[in-house]
Amino acid sequence: MPTPFAPVKGVHENVMKQIIARRERLRTAAVAEIKGVARRLLVEGGPAAISLRGIARDMGMTAPAIYRYFPSLDALVIELAGDLFDELRETIEAARDSVPAEPMIQLLEMARAFRRWSLAHPAEFALMFGNPLPAVAEFEADCSPEHPGAKFGAPFLSAFAEAFKTIPLKTPPADVIEAELGEHLAPYRIAFGADIPLEIVYAYLAGWTRLYGMVALEVFGHMRWAVNDMGALFELELATFVRDLLGS
């Protein structure tokens, strides 16, 4: 028979669950604050400005205390980059869902959303798509279907795949793509398999390089010598790409 002071098993378990849940909430809040400060340092000073010492100083902590949440600066930068890819993907998906379910219209709207986000977040763009820090380069090399970078590209790839179902996209023939490019697509095929028709893969990669090139040149200010309204050139290039793809 338990004494009057013996803990009741169910009550004790509930108390422990509450303590664990509270610790998890505190940890989640601390991780979010650390990443928030890291992003602010990124915006204020570029990728090189992110440091554990600077984050700890802003949060009133010691630098070693950060290691309770991230094993290294690289681990923090990688997680921040993953969050940024998720944020950008959600922005692009929202743009896609705001227009009719017609693949080419969705592709155009997603491209515009990518440009808008990138221009509004040049420091974040530099971390994700500029000259990468070693940690980000390693992060991007590890590309699997569940990788934030791969998820970011998935809406674009899906739109090209949907278009291909009903529209004869004007790409090189599959045998030509295989002969010229096939052996060089090994990283893509390892990550995503070889089931997607080569015409779709080619259209997706060609579209991405064209989109990235235009946006990167604008974000980094490399077209000021020639164009005072990159938006006009951007829209013309989008229209030209779609006409080339549709053959009209």
Question: pLDDT by residue (tens digit) across 184-198?
Answer: 998 888 777 788 899
Residue whose pair of structure tokens reads 């005072």 in the numeric block: 228
Question: pLDDT by residue (tens digit) across 197-234?
Answer: 999 999 999 999 999 999 999 999 999 999 999 999 99
User: For the chain, which residues make up each domain, given as ranges?
Assistant: 1-70, 84-246
Domain 84-246 CATH class label = mainly alpha
Confidence of residue 4 (pLDDT cuts 50, 70, 90): low
Is 90 exceeded by the pLDDT of residue 11? no
Instruction: Please give the share of the chain, as a percent, with pLDDT higher than 70.
Output: 88
- Give the Cα separation of 200 and 172 in Å (integer): 11
Are 49 and 42 in contact by the 8 Å Cβ rule? The answer is yes
Q: What does each C-alpha distance from 57 to 52, 54, 66, 80, 123 come to in angstroms? A: 8, 5, 11, 19, 21
Dihedral over Cα of 216, 137, 28, 73: its sign? negative
Are 167 and 246 in contact by the 8 Å Cβ rule? The answer is yes
- Give the Cα separation of 64 and 73 in Å (integer): 11
User: What mean pLDDT do residues 74-100 have?
Assistant: 95
- Give the Cα separation of 127 and 47 in Å (integer): 6
Question: pLDDT by residue (tens digit) across 54-66?
Answer: 999 998 888 888 9
Dihedral over Cα of 243, 111, 115, 186: its sign? negative
